[in-house]
Structures are given as structure tokens and as C-alpha cells.
């Protein structure tokens, strides 16, 4: 029986952008702690590189105004960027860092989550699959998968980073990460419902037999 093994374009799903946003959040969190405790007046040039903050007059929220914390804070829409003195630099740094981090995290996630070529080749051989024209060897199948999986994973992470950064820069109603998560969850529910529907249509006889047993 012939079958296909699909390698999705977004091979690592939304994991890279989630990890990138978590890293950004940690930098902002520790930057605020450092500024509040040891650099309250912004007089330490070394700590200023981490970030300087000011309090939002309409709330108690701290807003990054300089340093690394400022450049990794998502831009607040095109009009806000135009009013910033370093708006274009802010956009370039934020987008570049987001895309690079998503690409890197995608490559790392493949290796640590059990979806690397060596893991997939072991799973396929363990399930009894073979590739026509290739020896039934884990190493041979791994080499074949290495032609596709790392490239697709890197490209998927790059595209996820582009989508998330673009949504943040254009000032979408929600953050880029939130939009990606929402679309991904809806898509997963749709695929699950479609599979259950197909299983119900094709497996009624099996289900009846199991019920009798």
C-alpha cells in the first residue's frame, strides 16, 4: 500500500514565535527590575543599554524609552512609528530580530522535539514503511529526510517571523503572535473535525464490530 508522508510548510507551527515573544517578555521584565532598583534616574550608561523606562501617565504601566528594551518592544502602528525619532530603526531592529529568532528557534525546536530527520526516520521504519529505491536503513532514510525537513523548518520559522512582525508593525487589532495562535487553533479544530468525520464515515462497520465484541 502506497502512502505519502506530508511535510508541512509551517513544520514547527507557532512554537518559534511563542519562544521569541517569551524571550522578549523576559528581557522587558528584567529590564524593568534593573531600571527600578539600580538605574532609576538613567545615570548608569551600562545599564541604559539594557533599557530605560518611563511611567505611562494614564496607567501604572512602564513604557520602554531606550536601550534594548525599547527596540524589542512591538511598534504601536504606523502613525506611532512616524512620530518616533528613531521609528525606522526601531522597526528594522524589531522585525530583523523577530525573524532571526523565529528562524533560529525553529531549527532548535526540530532537534529537541522529536521531529528531526533521525527521529522521523526511526518512526517510519518502526511503522513498517519503506521508500522505493532505497535500502531499509535508518541512516539512508535520515539522509533522504535531511534534504527537506531542515529547509522546510527554517523557511517556516522565517515566514512565521515575517507574519508576526508585520502584524505588530501595522498595528493589528491583536498582536501578531495572538493572530497566529488564533488561526492555528481554528485550523487544528477544523482538521480534527474533518478527520473524525472521515473516520465516522469509513469506520462504521469496524465500530459496530467492536461494539459487538
Among 18-32, 106-120, 195-209, the least confident range: 195-209
Whether residue 207 lies inside any domain: the answer is no
For residue 25, give the H/E element and its range: helix 15-38
Whether residue 154 lies inside any domain: the answer is yes
pLDDT score at 208: 44
pLDDT score at 163: 86
Whether residue 168 lies inside any domain: the answer is yes
The domain total for the chain is 1
At 62, the pLDDT band (50, 70, 90 cuts) reads confident
Which residue, 57, 80, 54, is CA-closest to 69? 54
DSSP string, 42-86: S--HHHHHH-EEEE-TTSS-EEEEEHHHHHTSPP--HHHHHHSTT
Whether residue 166 lies inside any domain: the answer is yes
Whether residue 7 lies inside any domain: the answer is no
Sequence-separated (6 or more) residues with CB below 8 Å from residue 55: 61, 62, 63
Among 18-27, 36-45, 193-202, the least confident range: 193-202
pLDDT score at 150: 92
- Residues spanned by the domain of 31: 15-200
CB atoms within 10 A of CB 152: 18
Whether residue 59 lies inside any domain: the answer is yes
Whether residue 208 lies inside any domain: the answer is no
- The pLDDT tens digits for 92-124 are 899 999 999 999 999 999 989 888 999 988 888
- Cα dihedral 45→165→22→52 (10° resolution): 20
pLDDT score at 213: 40
- pLDDT of residue 205 exceeding 70, the answer is no
Instruction: Return the CATH number at 89.
Output: 1.10.3370.10
Average pLDDT along the chain = 81
Whether residue 76 lies inside any domain: the answer is yes
- The pLDDT tens digits for 153-169 are 999 999 989 988 888 88
Please give the Cα distance from 181 to 105 (Å, whole number).
Answer: 17
Residue 11: CA count within 13 A, CB half-sphere: 28
pLDDT score at 155: 93
Which residue, 156, 167, 164, is CA-closest to 106? 156
Give 66's DSSP letter: E
Task: Judge whether 153 and 107 are in contact, CB under 8 Å.
Answer: yes
Q: Is 163 helix (H, G, I), strand (E, B) or coil?
A: helix
- pLDDT of residue 211 exceeding 50, the answer is no
Q: What is the pTM of this model?
A: 0.77
pLDDT score at 23: 92
Amino acid at each position: 500500500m502506497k502512502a505519502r508522508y506530508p511535510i508541512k510548510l509551517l513544520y514547527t507551527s507557532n512554537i518559534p514565535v511563542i519562544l521569541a515573544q517569551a524571550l522578549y517578555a523576559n528581557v522587558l521584565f528584567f529590564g524593568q527590575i534593573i531600571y527600578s532598583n539600580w538605574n532609576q534616574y538613567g545615570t548608569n550608561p551600562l545599564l541604559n543599554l539594557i533599557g530605560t523606562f518611563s511611567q505611562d501617565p494614564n496607567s501604572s504601566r512602564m513604557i520602554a524609552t531606550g536601550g534594548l528594551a525599547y527596540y524589542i518592544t512591538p511598534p504601536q502602528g504606523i502613525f506611532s512609528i512616524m512620530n518616533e525619532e528613531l521609528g525606522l530603526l526601531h522597526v528594522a531592529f524589531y522585525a530583523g530580530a523577530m525573524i532571526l529568532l523565529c528562524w533560529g528557534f525553529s531549527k532548535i525546536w526540530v532537534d529537541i522535539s522529536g521531529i528531526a530527520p533521525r527521529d522521523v526516520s526511526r518512526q517510519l521504519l518502526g511503522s513498517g514503511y519503506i521508500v522505493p529505491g532505497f535500502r531499509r536503513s535508518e541512516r539512508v532514510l535520515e539522509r533522504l529526510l535531511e534534504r527537506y525537513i531542515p529547509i522546510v523548518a527554517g523557511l517556516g520559522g522565517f515566514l512565521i517571523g515575517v507574519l508576526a512582525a508585520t502584524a505588530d508593525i501595522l498595528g493589528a487589532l491583536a498582536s501578531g503572535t495572538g493572530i497566529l495562535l488564533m488561526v492555528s487553533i481554528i485550523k487544528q479544530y477544523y482538521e480534527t473535525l474533518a478527520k473524525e468525520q472521515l473516520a465516522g464515515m469509513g469506520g462504521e462497520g469496524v465500530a459496530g464490530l467492536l461494539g459487538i465484541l
